[in-house]
Amino acid sequence: MQLYALEYNSERENLIISEHGRHVQKLINHAITIEDRSKRQRFVESVVNLMHQMNPQTKNVAEYKERLWKHVFRISDYKLDVDAPEGVVITKPSEDKRVANLGYPKMEKRFRHYGRNVQELVRKALT
């Protein structure tokens, strides 16, 4: 009797970009382990071509290839040492670009069922 090793999604590592799927992420992680630079370059180029073939509706979009190369570097956490095609600029986003939460203006919440205009009228009548 043969036992199959079942793997649950909750046990797997998180997908960085779910658009391309888990197998593409595994291929890119494998590309990081390839020691020969020329083999690694060819391997990553073939992975980008595979990613392009997975979405055939974007055949003639020039920016799509650039986007795929940026996705490859993002999936590899910018550890991948390959040359991107000419014109593709890869920059690692900085961590401190998050904007602080903006606070809402503080307003009194007394007598909400009467409405704000009635509260203002009462306030004016008392003064």
- Model confidence pLDDT, tens digit, residues 45-86: 999 999 999 888 876 777 898 999 999 999 999 999 999 998
- Listing DSSP states for 35-92 in one string gives --HHHHHHHHHHHHHHHHHH-GGGTT-HHHHHHHHHHHHHHTTT----PPPTT----P
pLDDT in tens, 18-33: 999 999 999 999 999 9
pLDDT value of residue 8: 86
| In the chain, where the domains are located | 22-97
pLDDT value of residue 103: 82
